[in-house]
Amino acid sequence: MLYTPPVLDNETGQEPALSPPAPADLPGLLILWSGTQPTCVARPLHRRLTIGRSSDADVCLGDDTLVSRMHADVFAAAGGYVVTDRDSRHGTFVNGARIERQVSVDPGAVLRVGRTVILLGPIAEDEPRPIEVVGHYVVSAYQRRLRSDVGTAARLGANLLILGDTGTGKEDLARHYHASGPRASGPFVTHSAATLQASIAEAELFGTRRGGFTGAVDREGLLASASGGTLFLDEIGDLSLEVQSKLLRAFQEREVVAIGGGKTKKVDFLLCTATSVDVDAAFAAGRFREDLLHRIAGVTVRVDSLDRRRDEIPFLLATTPELASADVTLSAPFVEACMLRRWPGNVRGLRNALRQAIVNAAREAERRAAPVEKLELQPSHLEIPVGASAPPPAPRAATSAARDEEERALLLDALRRADDNGVEAAARLGMPKSTFYRKLEKHGIRLR
């Protein structure tokens, strides 16, 4: 559906990009919420589409009782979208604001009609599958391609470096890397490299033997524990240079000796690392070793922040574990409000905000002391965390250029459907022939 291609970093001279070219994008709309559940229905906007409850509507929302028979029109024009309310009873909302008649909006606008939430933006023409929930993971078209790259890296046996902001789901990708590789039946060992201080790094990485130092016990290190499986070191960019040197030597030799002596032990594992640090900037500043960077970045993928993956937000909300146990439902305005925010903590921040909203709704219900069968979350229950952006500006009135482009496209579409028969095309549009031909002349359209 909505797709932003993952970045495979080839500047290190390692593996080339693994993905096929990104699919061509078309202007379209993506229905992401219906009633109280996430959904995923994509419609390309080759022409104006009418949204309504009637079976005659191009986009039929027959189960949404708050949607009028012919509720709103949407059309792609002038690099954006034109949304027109058709005197609907309950209103058409764009980016959280009820529109009066017609507005022009940029790609990425959120449209709400009744209990249905729609994202306006590019859709991938050859991506037939909707967003899926696989286990505990939400897999959109973007995630599907990203996971394909990660799976290919695992099957190649290439070390993987995952770049991305905090909370974007880097560990989920690391687990997919492990599950997709030849060592999937082995252990998956995860550790935050940020905790590997120089004084304890060797003990953590290589293990200890009784008698090696005061209080030492026999304990396997991270590298030996991961042998036969996958080692995932998160926040690799936070390692000190001293620890980087020790880690590099172990990665090169693939053997370890525990502190306190003993035999050298061979280790064999897939290596996955992740960081939210700009490793190129860290290298340029002398804070990250170039040889270690080359060693860990056999293939590099970058995970986009959540504000570039907003089609996933309804599904991420609906699959938050606490939602079912709290016996609450999500309203369409609540989902809309979440989609209109930028979340600094990404997936983690979004789900934390949902948990807080559940608490706020329960507190509100207790204050009212009124029996409620099931709580329904509303935007008022949402506390916006520090750093989250304000809602986007109100949509602007449609420009004359956008209206002209819409009109021209409607004329061409009618002619195409009528096999270039002007009389029939005018009838299809319910337009007098004289008016139809005058508009053809205005837009420089000639009949074949």
Residue range 302-351, pLDDT digits in tens: 999 998 999 999 999 999 988 878 888 999 999 999 999 988 889 999 99
As a whole number of angstroms, the distance between CA 158 and CA 181 comes to: 10
Q: Note the pLDDT tens digit of each residue in 272-313.
A: 999 999 988 898 899 999 999 999 999 999 999 998 999 999
3-state secondary structure of 27: strand
**For residue 11, is pLDDT > 50?**
no
**For residue 447, is pLDDT > 90?**
no
Of 53, 57, 5, 3, nearest to 28 (Cα)? Answer: 3
CA-to-CA separations, 176 to 21, 106, 185, in angstroms, rounded: 22, 35, 13
pLDDT at residue 8, as a whole number:
38
Q: At what angle do helices 400-417 and 433-442 cross, to 10 degrees?
A: 120
Cα dihedral 169, 170, 171, 172, rounded to 10, equals 50
The total number of residues shown for the chain amounts to 448
pLDDT at residue 396, as a whole number:
57
In 140-187, which ranges are E strands? Answer: 160-164
Contacts of 386 (CB under 8 A, 6+ apart): 344
Q: What percent of the chain lies above the pLDDT cut of 90?
A: 50
Residue whose entry in the numeric block shows the structure tokens 């819409």: 406
Q: Note the pLDDT tens digit of each residue in 360-411.
A: 998 888 887 766 667 899 999 998 654 555 455 555 555 566 667 767 777 7
Q: At what angle do helices 241-253 and 198-206 cross, to 10 degrees?
A: 20
pLDDT at residue 388, as a whole number:
53
3-state secondary structure of 352: helix
Q: Note the pLDDT tens digit of each residue in 90-144.
A: 999 999 999 999 999 999 999 999 999 999 998 876 665 678 888 778 989 899 9
Q: Note the pLDDT tens digit of each residue in 171-205.
A: 999 999 999 999 999 999 999 988 888 777 888 88
DSSP H or E run through 193: none
Q: Note the pLDDT tens digit of each residue in 411-429.
A: 787 787 778 888 887 776 6
**In terms of pLDDT, which residue wins out, 398 or 223?**
223
Cα dihedral 339, 341, 344, 350, rounded to 10, equals -40
Contacts of 115 (CB under 8 A, 6+ apart): 33, 34, 35, 36, 64, 66, 67, 331, 332
In 270-405, which ranges are E strands? Answer: 270-275, 299-303, 328-330, 375-377, 396-397
pLDDT at residue 60, as a whole number:
96
Handedness of CA 219, 247, 301, 155 (dihedral sign): negative
pLDDT at residue 346, as a whole number:
92
pLDDT at residue 250, as a whole number:
86
pLDDT category of residue 4 using cuts at 50, 70 and 90: very low
Residue pair 328/365 in contact (Cβ under 8 Å)? The answer is no
Helix and strand numbers (H, E) in the chain are: 14, 26
Q: Note the pLDDT tens digit of each residue in 26-67.
A: 889 999 999 999 999 999 988 899 999 999 999 999 999 999
Cα dihedral 180, 273, 129, 44, rounded to 10, equals -160
Q: At what angle do helices 170-180 and 141-156 cross, to 10 degrees?
A: 50
pLDDT at residue 5, as a whole number:
34
**For residue 7, is pLDDT > 60?**
no
Of 291, 307, 208, nearest to 247 (Cα)? Answer: 291
pLDDT at residue 127, as a whole number:
60
Residue pair 66/88 in contact (Cβ under 8 Å)? The answer is no
Q: At what angle do helices 422-429 and 433-442 cross, to 10 degrees?
A: 100
**For residue 15, is pLDDT > 50?**
no
pLDDT at residue 216, as a whole number:
63
